[in-house]
Amino acid sequence: MNRYILLISVILLTGVRTHAQRNNILKLDVHSPIMRTAIVSYERIINADASWGISLLYTDKSEGITNADYLSRLAVTPEFRYYLSKDAAPAGFYLSGNFRLQRLIAESFEYTGIEPFASEVLIRSISTVGAGLNLGFQEVFKDRIALEVFMGPCWNSGDKRSGLSRSGNERPNDIFMPYVGYFLRSGVNVGFLF
């Protein structure tokens, strides 16, 4: 009789532990503030090998690394991850594919040539869609804290080029570079499992 009680207790406790596993991670990118950008991510573990997630990116009116004098960005990036490690997700190496919807607003000052130091502000905006692949590594500490690094190529629409027979700017969306066309997406995230 005691063996049956012990067996049932072990089964119940194992089931409770499995059910109590933390399958959600809320993350904050710690290297994006350098560019006056905030990136918040959410990841949900689907099974031992896979997860899905979504990231929200916001850049205020900043001088960053673009061809514009000021650029603002808002982006939503859903992604799917496949974990390559023997350990269960969310720990180990992974490959991920992502899709990005992005809105960019650029401001530039253009010299008008009428008076010395006279210029006008040109404001342009564009919405883009894109896709990318990432290779990353995530480690979980004390079943609560996640540390993640990733990098990979990304492509966004909007890299519009005019034919050479047309007059004017041959690359009208050059002001939004490097966030249109091909670029490298990277991140260093710290997260909290719940």
DSSP per residue, 131-165: EEEEEEEEEEETTTEEEEEEEEEEEES------TT
Comparing C-alpha atoms, which of 13, 107, 93 is closest to residue 63? Answer: 107
The predicted structure's pLDDT at residue 112: 67
The predicted structure's pLDDT at residue 162: 44
Q: What's 31's DSSP letter?
A: S
Comparing C-alpha atoms, which of 57, 50, 56 is closest to residue 95? Answer: 50
Count of beta carbons in the 10 Å neighbourhood of residue 40: 15
Count of beta carbons in the 10 Å neighbourhood of residue 148: 21
The whole-angstrom distance between residue 46's C-alpha and the CA centroid of its chain comes to 19
The whole-angstrom distance between residue 8's C-alpha and the CA centroid of its chain comes to 45
Tens of each residue's pLDDT in the chain, 194 residues: 566 555 555 555 544 444 457 899 999 999 888 888 999 999 999 999 999 999 999 998 877 666 677 888 999 999 999 999 888 889 999 999 999 999 998 887 776 666 666 667 788 888 999 999 999 999 999 999 999 999 999 999 877 654 444 555 555 677 777 788 888 999 999 999 99
Find the radius of gyration of the CA atoms of the chain. 23
Residue 86, token pair as written in the block? 């023997």
Q: Are 137 and 90 in contact (CB under 8 A)?
A: no
The predicted structure's pLDDT at residue 163: 46
The predicted structure's pLDDT at residue 172: 62
Three-class secondary structure of residue 44 per DSSP: strand
Residue 115, token pair as written in the block? 């008076």
* 28 phi, psi to nearest 5 deg: -130, 130
Domains, in order of start, for the chain = 2-193 (2.40.160)
